[in-house]
């Protein structure tokens, strides 16, 4: 029983010593072997290299390079303005003034409905207004002889106003028989034929303003504080191969979607040749920031401890443990925001054998990102 207890104590001591060898010495913790009384104070700590001996390491320089922070997303193109053209009234299609796919201007007449009944009503209203106007003029002439009372003149004036209102109403009904383009754009396929009876809301065609294309896409909420109007956006589509389209952020939603933890944004793209079409699936690359002189080190040089990060910088022939602040992560590299200077050498291989201040021998310097 006593032997078993000793074996367990030795195993615990060995594990504690190994943990201290890997991490404890770096953060200044006391040697557990010494605390347990299993090692004399003068022999505390892991074996040190003989005096004058240097640990062989491989280093890489702190690289200065431009850095662009991007976020990728997906979206669907839609026209800046889009509408399904319909009629507000019922009627028979009397004339169609557009061709499918034609470009039209705001106010152009697209379809005319038969308006014979409306024209007849307008003629009757105008005749009634002319008659009311004539009777009022006669009454005013007779007023000078005081043979027409003022009350009668007031009635005639009211009748004229009513007749003129009926004329305007009849004229508006004639205009309703014309279906016009609400804005400039390109019409789609025709949905009606000559002689067809259409009802209010019947689809006649579509109209899209393709001079600019809008794309809505989602950005993870972790980037919401860095999202801003005017940020550049690139869009690509398998339909156009390597061609890309440049745009910018023009709108940002005021709410974050609680289901996806993302926020919606809208980018707008100039589309003078109308290459981009509504409904097209697009890959979006949003540029959050650009830094022309970022400091980059291979990710192998980073020694994380908890929520902190360290590197071993080679200074005057010794490995100096330096805390650093990390920025953007790239494939194979990490941006250093604080803690290092340009062109300093950092250890990328052999970190496990290093302690702060030990002498090192650089056997190789890698001058490109590690793969």
pLDDT tens-digit series, residues 345-355: 999 998 888 89
Q: Which residues pair with 333 in a beta bridge?
A: 298, 330
Whether the per-residue pLDDT at 203 is higher than 70: the answer is yes
pTM for the predicted model, two decimal places = 0.63
Mean pLDDT across 134-152: 78
Residues 6+ apart with CB under 8 A from 331: 369
Portion of the chain with pLDDT greater than 90, in percent: 64
Spatial CA neighbour of 344 closest among 362, 359, 356: 362
Whole-number pLDDT of residue 244: 94
Task: State the virtual CA torsion across 338, 343, 348, 350 in degrees, nearest 10.
Answer: -110
Structure tokens that stand for 196 in this block: 């067809």
For domain 55-69+292-365, the question of CATH label 2.40.420.20 is answered with yes
pLDDT, one tens digit per residue, over 10-51 is 555 555 555 544 444 444 455 554 544 444 444 444 455 555
pLDDT, one tens digit per residue, over 41-62 is 444 444 555 555 788 999 999 9
The mean pLDDT value of the chain amounts to 85
Q: Which residues pair with 57 in a beta bridge?
A: 362
What does the DSSP 8-state code read for residue 224? G
**Multiple choice CATH, 71-79+208-287, 2.40.30.170, 3.90.79.10, 3.40.50.300, 3.30.420.40:** 2.40.30.170
Whole-number pLDDT of residue 30: 52
Whether the per-residue pLDDT at 177 is higher than 80: the answer is yes
Residue 368 burial (10 A CB sphere; 0-12, 13-18, 19+): exposed
Structure tokens that stand for 208 in this block: 């899209």
Spatial CA neighbour of 291 closest among 123, 29, 67: 67
Structure tokens that stand for 211 in this block: 């001079």
Structure tokens that stand for 168 in this block: 């305007």
**SS3 state at 12:** helix
Whole-number pLDDT of residue 46: 44
Whole-number pLDDT of residue 308: 93
Portion of the chain with pLDDT greater than 70, in percent: 84
Whole-number pLDDT of residue 146: 67
Whole-number pLDDT of residue 297: 92
115-176 matches 55-69+292-365 in CATH topology: no
Domain spanning 115-176: CATH superfamily: Helix hairpin bin (1.10.287.470)
Domains of the chain, by residue range, sit at 2-43, 55-69+292-365, 71-79+208-287, 115-176
């Amino acid at each position: 029983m006593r032997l078993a207890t000793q074996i367990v104590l030795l195993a615990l001591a060995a594990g504690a010593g190994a943990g201290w060898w890997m991490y404890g010495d770096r953060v200044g913790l006391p040697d557990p072997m010494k605390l347990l009384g299993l090692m004399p104070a003068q022999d505390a700590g892991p074996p040190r290299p003989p005096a004058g001996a240097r640990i062989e390491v491989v280093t890489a320089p702190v690289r200065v390079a431009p850095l662009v922070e991007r976020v990728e997303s997906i979206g669907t193109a839609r026209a800046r303005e889009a509408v399904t053209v319909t009629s507000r009234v019922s009627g028979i299609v009397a004339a169609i003034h557009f061709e499918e796919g034609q470009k039209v201007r705001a106010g152009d007449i697209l379809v005319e409905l038969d308006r014979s009944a409306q024209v007849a009503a307008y003629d009757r209203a105008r005749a009634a207004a002319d008659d009311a106007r004539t009777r009022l003029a006669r009454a005013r002439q007779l007023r000078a002889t005081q043979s027409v009372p003022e009350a009668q003149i007031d009635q005639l004036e009211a009748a004229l106003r009513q007749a003129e209102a009926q004329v305007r109403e009849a004229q508006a009904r004639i205009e309703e028989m014309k279906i016009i383009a609400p804005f400039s754009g390109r019409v789609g396929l025709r949905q009606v034929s000559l002689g067809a009876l259409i009802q209010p809301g019947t689809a006649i065609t579509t109209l899209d303003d393709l001079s600019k294309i809008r794309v809505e896409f989602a950005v993870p909420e972790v980037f919401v504080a860095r999202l801003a109007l005017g940020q550049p956006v690139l869009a690509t589509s398998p339909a156009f191969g390597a061609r890309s389209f440049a745009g910018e952020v023009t709108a940002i939603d005021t709410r974050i979607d609680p289901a996806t933890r993302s926020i919606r944004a809208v980018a707008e793209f100039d589309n003078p040749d109308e290459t981009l079409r509504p409904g097209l699936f697009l890959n979006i690359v949003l540029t959050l920031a650009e830094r022309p002189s970022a400091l980059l080190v291979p990710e192998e040089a980073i020694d994380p401890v908890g929520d902190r990060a360290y590197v071993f910088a080679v200074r005057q022939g010794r490995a100096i443990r330096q805390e650093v602040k990390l920025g953007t992560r790239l494939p194979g590299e990490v941006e250093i925001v604080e803690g290092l200077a340009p062109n300093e050498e950092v250890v990328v291989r052999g970190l496990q054998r290093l302690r702060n201040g030990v002498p090192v021998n650089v056997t190789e310097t890698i001058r490109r990102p590690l793969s």
